[in-house]
């Protein structure tokens, strides 16, 4: 799938074996969970950068603590590009979880009581796909 894990090889062969096995699994299986989607080498490179080490609560230029100036640049790039792509006045590129991202879509497009089709947990779905214990199973007529 991607280039070898040069820094791990010879240092921790057990970890390397697990990493290679996961690479093979992703290469040969399709993921239908957006947060577990197959990413490009460029995305993997960005995620493997020092940016991953930085937690940046708040918004660009309005963080709750310092040291976020470079993360602010990256996030602002994402905001500007999303606005341009969708012709939008505003964009928020910070879903903290798949659940919050799904909730944003539900609330933007549906009314309480609307019918939604979701995949059950037993078949690879997510709690937010209409499970009775989730907001989506309580607010919407979920069919699984």
Alpha helices, DSSP H only, in the chain?
13-28, 41-47, 69-86, 98-109, 135-139
Tell me: pLDDT of 98 over 70.
yes
pTM of the predicted protein model: 0.61
Residue with the bigger pLDDT between 96 and 60: it is 60
Q: For residue 77, what pLDDT is reported?
A: 98
Q: Give the contacts of 133 (CB within 8 A, at least 6 positions apart).
A: 127
Percent of the chain scored above 70 by pLDDT?
Answer: 94
Q: For residue 94, what pLDDT is reported?
A: 87
Q: For residue 12, what pLDDT is reported?
A: 94
8-22 pLDDT, tens per residue? Answer: 888 999 999 999 999
The arithmetic mean of pLDDT across residues 72-78, rounded, is: 97
Neighbours of 1 (CB within 10 A): 13
Transcribe 28-68 into DSSP letters. Answer: HS----GGG----HHHHHHHTSGGGG----EETTEESSSS-
Tell me how far apart the alpha carbons of residues 70 and 7 are, in angstroms, rounded to a whole number. 25
């Amino acid at each position: 799938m991607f280039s070898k894990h040069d820094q791990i090889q010879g240092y921790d062969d057990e970890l390397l074996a697990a990493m290679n096995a996961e690479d093979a699994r992703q290469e040969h299986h399709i993921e239908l969970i957006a947060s577990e989607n197959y990413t490009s080498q460029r995305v993997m490179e960005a995620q493997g950068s020092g940016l991953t080490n930085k937690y940046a609560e708040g918004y660009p230029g309005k963080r709750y603590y310092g040291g976020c100036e470079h993360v602010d640049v990256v996030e602002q790039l994402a905001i500007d590009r999303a606005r341009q792509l969708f012709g939008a006045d505003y964009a928020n590129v910070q879903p903290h979880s798949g659940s919050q991202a799904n909730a944003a879509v539900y609330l933007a497009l549906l009314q309480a009581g609307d019918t939604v089709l979701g995949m059950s947990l037993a078949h690879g779905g997510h709690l937010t796909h209409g499970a009775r214990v989730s907001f989506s199973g309580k607010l919407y007529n979920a069919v699984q």
